[in-house]
Amino acid sequence: MPDSPPAAYTIQSLARAEVRSLAPYNAGLSNEAVRRRYGVERIARLGSNENPIGPAPGVIEAVTQAARECALYPDAECQTLRAALSERLDIAPERLVFGNGSEDLIAILARVFLDHGDEVVTMVPAFGLHTLYPQSMGARVIGVPITAAGAIDVDGLLGAITPRTRLVMFSSPSNPVGSALSRAEIERLLAGLPPHLLLVFDEAYFEYGQLADDYPDVLALLEASRQPWVLLRTFSKAYSLAGFRVGYGIVSDPVLADLVDRVRTPFNVSRPAQAAAVAALEDQEHLTRSLANVATERARLSAALAAAGLRVYPSLGNFLFLALEREADAVGEALLSHGVIVKTWREPGFTHCLRVTVGSPADNALFFEALMQALDAPVRGSLADASH
């Protein structure tokens, strides 16, 4: 559907129509911006699902070494990282793809597979880039709402598929809700998918999901199906490497990796990022400690919020999704004035919701107190002891 030509030439008119109509990504404010704007010193940074524990000590050493080699381009094939992951996952090296964060892989998949008029089926509320990157390619995104209980609606996803669907793409554990598909649901999804589309299963919160006894082995379930699929994971969350930008995908067929290679920039994972990921993988004890913080703090925080009468969705991620009885944006502003950064939701139907990262005990306490003040709620539960 070509737009009518603009009356006067503007810089915007040079851009593709799909790009002109894109909503900006809601990346949230930097700590500096919050300090400046609200005159607060202490910041509880709980808007981007970052890991308050930080990386394994070996990561800093590895990156320092890599910094000495910064005159050299990185390995375009990520061979050391590829070999390490191939062994850990028991997946052939040619079935791995790497990105400048897994978001890079989402963008690449959109460029490889989507054309004007194609359709993408995802869930609502959605991880923003599952929507924005397909739209930037001219695809139509069909969002299937979560169920009333906050579950990913398998039948809804299957029912939204048409002959024009190219990708079915969602996260499980889902961002922002935190719910995950069960083994039976994944089997039902795989059994119902027609063969003409690619399933992009975003498992960015895989390591957190594994804390739950009944969390399914998604990779094994996908391996058992004949559907073409990509399973996305990242070093940004549980491994604390968000600032380095490194994510990976496991693909059902090396042909998919070859297609990704044609479209990606050749050196898309920097030298320090590759070194950091290899070192992070080597320290599984550090990973275990950082997961333990989330398990303990998530339980405490969600119990306190529920005791204060708030609706908290059950979450397998390092975050909680809350449904308020009013628009979340005003509450988000009030939290910012206390130095607390959360992500208020902007998708229609969910503008009364906010997502808060499970942070350090002190940050969670600051969030809880600020939220109670912002909502003017009687504090029944308390996280007060957490600030010590």
Ligand X SMILES: *Cc1c(COP(=O)(O)O)cnc(C)c1O
Nearest residue (CB) to ligand X, 40 versus 242 = 242
Residue 100 beta carbon to ligand X: minimum distance, rounded to whole angstroms: 8
Nearest residue (CB) to ligand X, 102 versus 165 = 102
Residue 103 touching ligand X (CB under 6 A): yes
Burial 250-287 (b: 16+ CB within 10 A, else e): bbbeeebbebbeeebeeebbbbbbbbbbbbbbebeebb
Residue 247 touching ligand X (CB under 6 A): yes
Nearest residue (CB) to ligand X, 236 versus 240 = 236
The size of the interface with ligand X (CB under 6 A), counted in residues, is 14
Secondary structure (3-state) at 325: coil
Site string for ligand X, 31-50 (x = CB under 6 A): ------------------x-
Residue 207 touching ligand X (CB under 6 A): no
The pair phi, psi for residue 169, each rounded to 5°, is -140, 125
Residue 237 beta carbon to ligand X: minimum distance, rounded to whole angstroms: 6
Q: Which stretch binds ligand X (CB under 6 A): 9-17, 97-105, 273-281, 330-338?
A: 97-105
The set of residues, in sequence order, having a beta carbon less than 8 Å from that of 385 and lying 6+ positions away, is none
Distance CA 344, CA 363 (A): 17
Distance CA 219, CA 183 (A): 11
Residue nearest to ligand X (CB): 101
Residue 170 beta carbon to ligand X: minimum distance, rounded to whole angstroms: 9
Residue 204 touching ligand X (CB under 6 A): yes
Query: Which of 40, 84, 242, 295 is the binder for ligand X (CB under 6 A)?
Result: 242
Residue 131 touching ligand X (CB under 6 A): no
Residue 130 beta carbon to ligand X: minimum distance, rounded to whole angstroms: 7
Residue 52 touching ligand X (CB under 6 A): no
Nearest residue (CB) to ligand X, 118 versus 202 = 202
Structure tokens given for 27? 């990346």
The pair phi, psi for residue 192, each rounded to 5°, is -95, -10
Q: Which stretch binds ligand X (CB under 6 A): 61-69, 236-244, 273-281, 370-378?
A: 236-244
Structure tokens given for 356? 């808060």
Given 3-state DSSP classes, what are the helix, strand and coil percentages for the chain, each rounded to the nearest 5? 40, 15, 45
Residue 270 touching ligand X (CB under 6 A): no
Query: Which of 122, 131, 135, 171 is the binder for ligand X (CB under 6 A)?
Result: 171
Q: Which stretch binds ligand X (CB under 6 A): 21-29, 56-64, 229-237, 253-261?
A: 229-237
Residue 84 touching ligand X (CB under 6 A): no
Nearest residue (CB) to ligand X, 103 versus 119 = 103
Nearest residue (CB) to ligand X, 203 versus 370 = 203
Secondary structure (3-state) at 144: strand
Nearest residue (CB) to ligand X, 256 versus 383 = 256
Structure tokens given for 18? 């799909």
Q: What is the DSSP string of 336-379?
A: HHTTEE-EE--STT-TTEEEEE---HHHHHHHHHHHHHHHT---
Structure tokens given for 376? 């003017």
Residue 54 beta carbon to ligand X: minimum distance, rounded to whole angstroms: 16
Residue 290 touching ligand X (CB under 6 A): no
The set of residues, in sequence order, having a beta carbon less than 8 Å from that of 211 and lying 6+ positions away, is 291, 294, 295, 316
N-term to C-term CA, the chain: 59
Residue 221 beta carbon to ligand X: minimum distance, rounded to whole angstroms: 18
Count the alpha carbons within 13 Å of 129 in the hemisphere toward its beta carbon: 16
Interface positions with ligand X (CB under 6 A): 49, 101-103, 127, 171, 175, 202, 204, 234, 236-237, 242, 247
